């Protein structure tokens, strides 16, 4: 079964899970299965138009799916997906803006 | 081989006997030698930020003998920096970070030149500041400055040694448009500023920027010496908890607006506008919430007058453990929805968090749920600790 690696900023929406087993023949199916399992991820991964947000980077193994067939990329059995977040922290990380935690209070 | 070309010809630089002794562990390595050490001495690196990442970067570059190190920062050293910003010390609390760092670097290596830029790296000054340097090192903490550093590097054809951290995870890469993708190829658009689940997800393991920053320093030194495989077209993903270092491939985006074949960004832009968020917190409003609020003084007056009041603290339990108001009840923001039925819609409520952003969201939720007599505590428990009860700790 394919798995998807969840980056730290998204783990609050997967109950802390670092990796989620998913089903689906394509990246798109797998992402839908992921949000079906963890509905709180929906607004972080998908825009109001139902499309994956432009800043969500999905890698199949070490390849950006944008350079494969995008979300139509077929998933082999046991494929490892990962979401790579854009993270801004560095200088003063307790106020770090991250993809999902911009401008911490 | 990919190597920067310095404005100064390394072959013209002579190492003193003292320098030869200092760098002897470099000089005896065939990958470095006297020639490499001369390259280091001829090189110049601009560190954007002298915080968690900038500290180890600058320390190791200075120790390695990089001849000219520029430091850009606008902050002063505060005690809560010292958990990870190891270039600064307790005695430097209150001192400008660039000055504190300069003193430490020159103590470490008096043979180098340290140039301080006590200012915000912005579109107005970035090209001018970056121009004299061979390499830029991105150790910033916000999206607008990261896009700015990227664009400066693309426009000036300089490598951008990128590092970024969040809690227990770090990312490292070398972006150099002439040889590979740029930051915008990977992240064409910044995330919208509105997706802010919780402040409790912030924080960083103090040693993490040490690991990531030393990797950045290592990449910078490789670019100066022209040795090894630079982290071009690769993004290193470091997870300190799982103790994994994995890498993914990055490719040039043919539609990249700045490094693609048909660029539409040909000069620096307004990055705060582009990202929809401030690049720094100097003078920036903490929240722009429009929910009803009250000040800590108003809350104190109400408590002193024994006005019946429900105070709800929407922080996380580990924050409650650090500091709390005795009258408050803890309901973390994520649990609030489930506890709505327990609240008395006829009573007055005040909601607080650390500094007021999460509690503003909680007030919105309560108002939308029919609990109308609710106000946000402006500035949160930090304002209370600063202005009302100064015996309380700040965090």
Residues B218 and B348 both lie in one domain: no
Asked if B227 and B84 sit in the same domain, the reply is yes
Q: What is the pLDDT of residue A91?
A: 58
Of the residues B199, B256, B259, B275, only one is catalytic, namely B199
Does residue B348 share a domain with residue B271? no
- B residues 124-183 closer than 8 Å to A (CB): 138-143, 146, 163-169, 171
| pLDDT at site A93 | 36
- What is the pLDDT, as a whole number, of residue A53? 86
DSSP characters for B223-237?
HHHT-S---BTEEEE
- Evaluate whether residue B285 is within a structural domain: no
Long-range contacts of B25-34, Cβ-Cβ distance < 8 Å, separation of 24 or more: B26/B64, B26/B65, B31/B225, B31/B227, B31/B228, B32/B225, B32/B227
Chain B residues lying within 8 Å of A99, measured CB to CB: 191, 195
Residues 290 through 309 of chain B touching chain A, CB cutoff 8 Å = none
Structure tokens at B297: 């003084």
Which pLDDT does position A52 carry in this prediction?
A: 87
Same domain, B131 and B15: yes
Residue ranges making up the domain that contains B218:
10-275
Query: Residue B161: beta bridge partners?
Result: B137, B174
Domain boundaries, chain A: 3-95
Q: Do B332 and B261 share a structural domain?
A: no
Query: Is B379 at the interface with chain A, CB within 8 A?
Result: no
* Banded model confidence at residue A94, pLDDT cuts 50, 70, 90: very low
pLDDT in tens, A17-30: 999 999 999 999 99
The pLDDT assigned to B195 comes to: 59
Would B284 be classed as within a structural domain?
no
Residue A90 pLDDT grade (very low, low, confident, very high; cuts 50, 70, 90): low
- Of the residues B50, B142, B172, the best mutation for testing chain A's interface (the one with the most A CB atoms within 10 Å of its CB) is B142
Q: Which two tokens stand for residue B315?
A: 């922080």
Q: What's the pLDDT at A67?
A: 92
Q: For residue B5, how many other CB atoms are within 10 A of its CB?
A: 11
What pTM was computed for the model?
A: 0.87
Same domain, B177 and B79: yes
CA-closest candidate to residue B380, choices B344, B356, B345 = B356
> What angle do helix axes B54-64 and B97-108 make, rounded to 10 degrees?
30
Looking at the fold, whether B237 and B298 belong to one and the same domain comes out as no
Is residue B176 located within the same domain as residue B267? yes
Average pLDDT over every residue of A3-25: 93
The answer to whether B159 and B69 have CB atoms below 8 angstroms apart is no
pLDDT band for position A12 (50/70/90)? confident
**CATH code assigned to A3-95:** 3.10.20.30
Can you give the pLDDT at residue B318?
Answer: 93
Q: Do B60 and B100 lie in a common domain?
A: yes
CATH number at residue B261: 3.40.50.720
Q: Examine residue B195 and state whether it is found in any structural domain, yes or no.
A: yes
CATH number at residue B325: 3.40.250.10
The reply to whether B192 falls in a domain is yes
Q: Which residues from B are below 8 Å from A88, CB to CB?
A: 140-143, 146, 164
Q: Is A101's CB within 8 Å of B198's CB? A: yes
Domain-located, residue B90: yes
Chain B: give the shortest CA distance to residue A61, in Å. 8
Is there a single domain that holds both residue B16 and residue B110?
yes
- Report the C-alpha gap between A88 and A93 in whole angstroms: 8
Last residue of a domain, one of B226, B247, B275: B275
B252 and B344 assigned to the same domain: no
pLDDT digits (tens, 9 = 90+) for A70-87: 999 999 999 999 999 888
**Closest chain B residue by Cα to residue A89:** B141
Do the domain assignments include residue B164? yes
Which tens digits make up the pLDDT trace of A29-67?
999 999 999 999 998 899 889 888 878 899 999 999 999
The predicted structure's pLDDT at residue B118:
97
Cα A3–chain centre separation: 11
Indicate the number of domains in chain B. Answer: 2
B169: in domain:
yes
Could you tell me if B188 and B239 lie in one domain? yes
Residues 20-39 of A with CB under 8 A from B: none
With a threshold of 0.90, tell me whether the complex ipTM lies above it.
Answer: no
What are the two backbone dihedrals, phi and then psi, of residue B33, each rounded to the nearest 5 degrees? 60, 180
* Inside any domain, residue B286: no
Q: Which whole-number Å values give the CA distances from B207 to A8, A24, B20, B289, in the listed order?
A: 17, 39, 32, 35
The predicted structure's pLDDT at residue A103: 31
pLDDT tens, chain B, 395 aa long: 999 999 999 999 999 999 999 999 999 999 999 999 999 999 999 999 999 999 999 999 999 999 999 999 999 999 999 999 999 999 999 999 999 999 999 999 999 999 999 999 999 999 999 999 999 999 998 899 999 999 999 999 999 999 999 889 999 999 999 999 999 999 998 887 755 434 555 788 999 999 999 999 999 999 999 999 999 999 999 999 999 999 999 999 999 999 999 999 999 999 999 998 888 655 444 445 689 999 999 999 999 999 999 999 999 999 999 999 999 999 999 899 999 999 999 999 999 999 998 999 999 999 999 999 999 999 999 999 999 999 999 99
């Amino acid at each position: 079964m394919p798995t998807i690696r969840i980056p730290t900023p998204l783990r609050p929406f997967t109950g802390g899970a670092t990796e989620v087993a998913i089903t689906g023949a394509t990246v798109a199916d797998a992402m839908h299965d992921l949000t079906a399992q963890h509905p709180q991820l929906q607004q972080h991964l998908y825009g109001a138009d139902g499309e994956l947000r432009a800043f969500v980077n999905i890698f199949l193994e070490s390849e950006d799916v944008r350079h494969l067939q995008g979300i139509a990329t077929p998933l082999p059995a046991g494929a490892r997906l990962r979401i790579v977040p854009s993270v801004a922290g560095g200088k003063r990380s307790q106020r770090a803006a991250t993809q999902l935690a911009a401008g911490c209070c | 081989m990919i190597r920067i070309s310095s404005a100064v010809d390394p072959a013209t630089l002579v190492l003193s006997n003292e320098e030869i002794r200092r760098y002897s562990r470099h000089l005896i390595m065939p990958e470095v030698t006297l020639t490499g050490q001369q390259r280091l001495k001829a090189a110049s690196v601009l560190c954007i930020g002298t915080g968690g990442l900038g500290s180890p970067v600058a320390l190791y570059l200075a120790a390695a003998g990089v001849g000219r190190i520029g430091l850009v920062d606008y902050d002063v050293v505060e005690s809560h920096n010292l958990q990870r910003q190891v270039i600064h010390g307790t005695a430097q609390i209150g001192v400008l970070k660039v000055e504190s760092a300069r003193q430490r670097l020159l103590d470490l290596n008096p043979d180098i030149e340290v140039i301080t830029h006590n200012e915000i790296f912005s579109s107005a000054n970035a090209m001018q500041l970056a121009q004299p340097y061979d390499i830029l090192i991105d150790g910033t903490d916000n999206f607008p400055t990261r896009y700015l550093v990227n664009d400066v590097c693309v426009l000036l054809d300089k490598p951008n040694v990128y590092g970024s951290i969040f809690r227990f995870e770090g990312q490292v890469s070398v972006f150099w448009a002439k040889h590979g993708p740029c930051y915008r190829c990977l992240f064409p658009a910044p995330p919208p500023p509105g997706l802010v689940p919780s402040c409790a997800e912030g924080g960083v393991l103090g040693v993490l920027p040490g690991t990531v920053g030393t990797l950045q320093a290592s990449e910078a030194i490789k670019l100066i010496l022209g040795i090894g495989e630079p982290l071009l077209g690769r993004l290193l993903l470091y997870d300190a908890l799982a103790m994994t270092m994995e890498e993914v491939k990055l490719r040039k985006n043919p539609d990249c607006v700045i490094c693609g074949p048909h660029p539409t960004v040909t000069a620096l832009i307004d990055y705060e506008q582009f990202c929809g968020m401030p690049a720094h917190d100097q003078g920036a409003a903490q929240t722009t919430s429009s929910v009803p609020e009250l000040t800590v003084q108003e809350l104190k007056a109400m408590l002193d007058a024994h006005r019946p009041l429900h105070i709800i603290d929407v922080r996380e339990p580990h924050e409650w453990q650090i500091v709390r108001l005795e009258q408050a009840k803890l309901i973390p923001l994520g649990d609030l929805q489930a506890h709505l039925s327990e609240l008395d819609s006829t009573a007055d409520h005040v909601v607080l968090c650390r500094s007021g952003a999460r509690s503003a969201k909680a007030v919105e939720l309560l108002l939308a749920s029919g609990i109308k007599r609710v106000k946000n505590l402006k500035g949160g428990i930090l304002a209370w600790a600063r202005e009302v009860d100064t015996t309380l700790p700040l965090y």
